[in-house]
């Protein structure tokens, strides 16, 4: 029995939803451990499309327990709305198959407004956030003033906690000439939805310990990608949480020794949403064609993704940082029509050749990619489910990629459909 953590090895949008759904058929428990409703997953099951934002991917499968850990920040109104939406698609969401950590912090309306105010004021320095209040909520969590799920159980406690957090936010809002938030109004709105939220609240760390002792298979589902990690990503153009697999332990309340296999989801090319450095970005017809063939639009925001060649330097670096055991390579079929394919193998920084992403933002914007070129296969790989059936040039590209990044390719995805996957190594049974 192995527990598996799934993370994105690039800037997110690598196709984690499909892979997590595919793995969840073998898992008993699926846990989200960081992020909020800023990171979506699209699942395609029997041609039925599910667009998830907060709910773990396991929710669409019967007999699975889905969990939001303490590392997730939860917009309670967005969560309840998402539950209503998915129920209309025939999916049950009850305390028997879904739970929320009682220690998770809540995103409140003033968090979203502060997100919008900051982005609008940033001008060219915009981070490119989804404006959903994720960052400001994490700031309150670190500042020890956030409202947590458990605070909804006591009206007097909620009153005290709101007094504390609004003292901070209203002072800032006054300075910005914005209307202050009334505690009584917000308290009333929270108490109204408290029963619906609290019925899912549990001491998740204790439940996970019980699941582990019962030898249940646990799948830890990461959001976004490692290059958006607040410590290890392209700072400051990052998210507000740690997206590395180590966060699976911290953000759910389970020991790191219980995470046995780390699977890195990796796109066969590179995409990025929002602002920030992107060394291999293609602002040309090839980049445009990758976006069209790959349907590169965000699940949550519908924003168009920036597209470029596969950056082997970045993925090799995220593998080393994260302890990734195997790679699930996605969207190989998007490259089918290209005569040649390039992979970044090093950078040029002001005339100096380097083989890693420098930490300084200025350097990240100035590096130039150095490529190795591969012949394309110019034939269809979509729907292929056996490695030996791939075109020879596709096999050569995959093997070259595998050798360069230093991690085994455990699977290859050849379409959005769940079954169109070439399995090389099963993370749960390796």
Residues acting as catalytic residues: 13, 41
Return phi, psi of residue 249, to 5°.
-75, -50
The two structure tokens encoding residue 41: 């997953």
Contact 107, 137 (CB under 8 A): yes
What single DSSP character describes residue 199? T
Q: Is 172 helix (H, G, I), strand (E, B) or coil?
A: helix
The C-alpha atoms of residue 357 and residue 346 are separated, in whole angstroms, by 9
Contact 36, 137 (CB under 8 A): yes
Q: Which residues, including other chains, have CB under 8 Å from residue 333's CB and lie 6 or more apart?
A: 380, 381, 382, 383, 414, 415
Residue 56: name the closest of 17, 84, 14, 13 by CA: 17
- Reported residue count of the chain is 430
Residue 74: name the closest of 35, 40, 41, 106 by CA: 106
DSSP letter string, 35-63: B-TTS-EEEEETTEEEEESSS-GGGGSTT
The C-alpha atoms of residue 136 and residue 127 are separated, in whole angstroms, by 13
Contact 338, 269 (CB under 8 A): no
The C-alpha atoms of residue 142 and residue 149 are separated, in whole angstroms, by 16
Question: Residue 359 CB: number of other CB atoms within 10 A?
Answer: 10
Contact 227, 314 (CB under 8 A): yes
102 to 54, 187, 284, 289, 415: CA distances (angstroms): 16, 18, 48, 45, 38
């Amino acid at each position: 029995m192995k527990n598996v953590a799934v993370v994105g090895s690039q800037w997110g949008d690598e196709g984690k939803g499909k892979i997590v759904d595919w793995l969840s058929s073998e898992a008993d428990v699926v846990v989200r451990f960081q992020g909020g409703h800023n990171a979506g997953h699209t699942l395609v099951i029997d041609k039925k499309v599910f667009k998830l934002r907060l709910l773990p991917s396991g929710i669409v499968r019967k007999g699975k327990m889905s969990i939001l850990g303490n590392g997730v920040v939860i917009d309670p109104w967005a969560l309840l709305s998402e539950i209503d939406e998915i129920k209309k698609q025939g999916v049950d969401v009850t305390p028997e198959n879904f739970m929320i950590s009682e220690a998770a912090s809540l995103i409140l309306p003033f968090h979203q407004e502060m997100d919008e105010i900051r982005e609008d004021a940033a001008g060219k320095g915009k981070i490119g956030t989804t404006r959903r209040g994720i960052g400001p909520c994490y700031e309150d969590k670190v500042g020890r003033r956030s409202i947590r799920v458990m605070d909804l159980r006591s009206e007097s406690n909620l009153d005290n906690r709101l007094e504390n957090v609004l003292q901070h936010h209203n002072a800032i809002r006054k300075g910005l000439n914005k209307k202050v938030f009334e505690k009584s109004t917000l308290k009333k709105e929270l108490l109204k939805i408290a029963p619906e939220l609290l019925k899912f609240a549990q001491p998740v760390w204790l439940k996970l310990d019980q699941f582990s002792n019962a030898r249940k298979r646990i799948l830890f589902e990461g959001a976004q990608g490692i290059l958006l990690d607040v410590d290890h990503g392209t700072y400051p153009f990052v998210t507000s949480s740690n997206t590395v697999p180590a966060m699976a332990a911290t953000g759910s309340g389970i020991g790191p020794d219980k995470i046995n296999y780390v699977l890195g989801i990796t796109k066969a090319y590179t995409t990025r949403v929002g602002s920030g450095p992107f060394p291999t970005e293609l602002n040309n017809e090839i980049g445009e064609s990758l976006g069209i063939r790959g349907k590169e639009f965000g699940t949550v925001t519908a924003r168009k993704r920036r597209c470029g060649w596969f950056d082997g330097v970045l993925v090799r670096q995220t593998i080393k940082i994260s302890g990734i055991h195997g790679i699930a390579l996605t969207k190989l079929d998007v490259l089918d029509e290209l005569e040649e394919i390039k992979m970044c193998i090093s950078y040029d920084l002001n005339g100096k050749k380097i083989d890693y992403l420098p930490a300084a933002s200025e350097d990240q914007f100035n590096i130039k990619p150095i490529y190795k070129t591969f012949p394309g296969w110019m034939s269809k790989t979509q729907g292929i489910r056996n490695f030996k059936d791939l075109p020879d040039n596709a096999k050569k590209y995959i093997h070259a990629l595998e050798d360069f990044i230093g991690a085994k390719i455990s699977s290859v995805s050849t379409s959005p459909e769940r079954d169109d996957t070439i399995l090389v190594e099963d993370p749960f049974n390796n």
